[in-house]
Chain A
């Protein structure tokens, strides 16, 4: 049961570089989400997607871009990385059963922007 995977698990980059974080799920879940986890803030939603080719902003979308050409993949791109984007990034997915659905999380990507 592969579930939901993220790559890379760790990434170090420099300010101004473009970085793409990958997320892949094997459940054919309709919904996918990107969160960032920072001390004192818990998890904050960056972007979400209800289906392939349907995406929308979450709470903290600035500086990030997403796409979803296939149901199973939901990459997150930092177009020009900044130090404030140093964080742990989690991808999650859930079925389209409505608001009772549970979100399941990937293992996370730890990103350091120098």
Chain B
């Protein structure tokens, strides 16, 4: 069975500092990995995805994520945080080999960026 873990319920960072939101995954085959962001009272917005190829994936709003197969991780990063980045972030995984488009989501990490 596939699963995703987001070990931090909340991450606090000062504006202008780099940020990292952690995600580890477990699948029986090869993973497709996704990051979504949710602003208050809004739906989830797609940020980026890893399918294959370069381990560093660039996405929307200056975010990027690094796929590490040996550590089964897909951490979300941004070189310089903005107050407007404060939101709830979800990591999700799809098992390439088990068919269908089912996504399994982590429990979410709340990012708070202070001015």
Contact = CB atoms under 8 A, between A and B. Distances in A.
Nearest to B100: A99
B42 A107 contact: yes
Contacts of B103: 45, 103
B60 to A, nearest CB: 12
A43 B90 contact: yes
B15 to A, nearest CB: 27
Nearest to B30: A99
Contacts of A107: 41-43
Interface residues of A, number: 24
Interface in A47-75: 48, 58
A42 B108 contact: yes
Q: Which of B44, B46, B51, B94 has the most CB of A within 10 A?
A: B44
Interface string A23-56: 0000000010000000011111100100000000
A78 B66 CA distance: 40
Interface in B75-115: 90, 94, 96, 99-103, 105-108
Contact of A90 (B34, B43, B99, B106): B43
Given A42-B107, A94-B101, A100 B51 contact: yes
The list of the 5 closest CB pairs from A to B, nearest first, reads: A105-B43, A42-B105, A105-B44, A43-B105, A42-B107
29 contacts: A41-B107, A42-B105, A42-B106, A42-B107, A43-B105, A45-B102, A45-B103, A48-B101, A48-B102, A58-B102, A90-B43, A90-B44, A92-B44, A94-B101, A99-B32, A99-B94, A99-B100, A99-B101, A100-B51, A102-B34, A102-B46, A102-B49, A103-B34, A105-B44, A105-B45, A107-B41, A107-B42, A107-B43, A108-B43
